[in-house]
Amino acid sequence: MGNVLLTGATGGIGTALVSALVEAGHQVTAVGRDVGRLNVRGIEADLAEPGTLAAVGGLEDAGELGDVQALVHCAGISPVEAVAEAGPETWRRTLAVNVASAAELVRLTLPALRRSRGHVIFVNASPGMTGVPRWSAFVASKAALRELADSLREEEAAHGIRVTTVYPAATATDLLGEVRSAFGRPYDPELCIRPQTLAAMIVWVLSAPADAYACELAVLPSPR
């Protein structure tokens, strides 16, 4: 149990994760926009502007967040645009929210994470996902997030920091419904992973004993 810094807390997976973490006895600090409506401590910040995060109250030094024991990056945006359609702002915003903000939050909390020999969890995309037509910015950002996790794991092993990438397949969220609609594909939440189920598995990753942990976790819907 400890203080968990969480992004994406107002999304479908993030909302379920807040409940699961609190139920497991963790303290949750949510980072992002509109976090004031959550029943946990919130730090208002725009993840689309990673360069401003260091100046956000509570993140500028190790003071208020000096006891962070885990960082879970669950935030993400998912524009459906072909390379021929996606302008620089689509790429900038997608890479900022999905990757660069995660890297900056890790940088800002590393002193605390090193002291606590903490855990960083990146919620990625479906296992094995590669090039997907009309989803280039999203897929590229998730590939970059995977490489960020792998590099961080090697860099911080000497400090005892655990780094896990979670690869969830189709999860029943409003965002997935919007993406499926943009692709002209059907969306049936009954065939997807429940956000509460995925949240429970992330909490399980955080509860690993001292001598081992899951560095990667692929999560699939059970056969129906």
In which band, very low, low, confident or very high, does the pLDDT at 60 lie, cut at 50, 70 and 90? low
- Summarised one tens digit per residue, pLDDT across range 199-217 is 999 999 999 999 999 999 9
pLDDT at 61 over 60: no
pLDDT at 63 over 60: no
The per-residue b/e assignment along 86-114, b for 16 or more CB within 10 angstroms, e otherwise, is beeebbebbbbbbbbbbbbbbebbbebbe
CA distance 115 to 213: 18
- Summarised one tens digit per residue, pLDDT across range 9-49 is 999 999 999 999 999 999 999 998 888 888 899 999 999 99
Q: Closest by alpha carbon to 190, among 208, 200, 177? A: 177
CA distance 104 to 204: 25
**pLDDT score at 224:** 81
34: left (phi over 0), alpha (psi -120 to 50) or beta: left
- Summarised one tens digit per residue, pLDDT across range 69-89 is 999 999 999 999 999 999 999
- Summarised one tens digit per residue, pLDDT across range 180-191 is 999 999 999 999
**pLDDT score at 162:** 98
pTM for the model:
0.95
Q: Closest by alpha carbon to 104, among 137, 56, 163? A: 56
Rounded mean pLDDT, 151-166: 98
**pLDDT score at 62:** 47
- Summarised one tens digit per residue, pLDDT across range 100-138 is 999 999 999 999 999 999 999 999 999 988 889 999 999
**pLDDT score at 64:** 60
Contacts of 162 (CB under 8 A, 6+ apart): 118, 119, 120, 208, 213, 215
Q: Closest by alpha carbon to 73, among 157, 136, 163, 196? A: 163
> DSSP class of residue 98?
I
Contacts of 132 (CB under 8 A, 6+ apart): 138, 139
**pLDDT score at 35:** 85
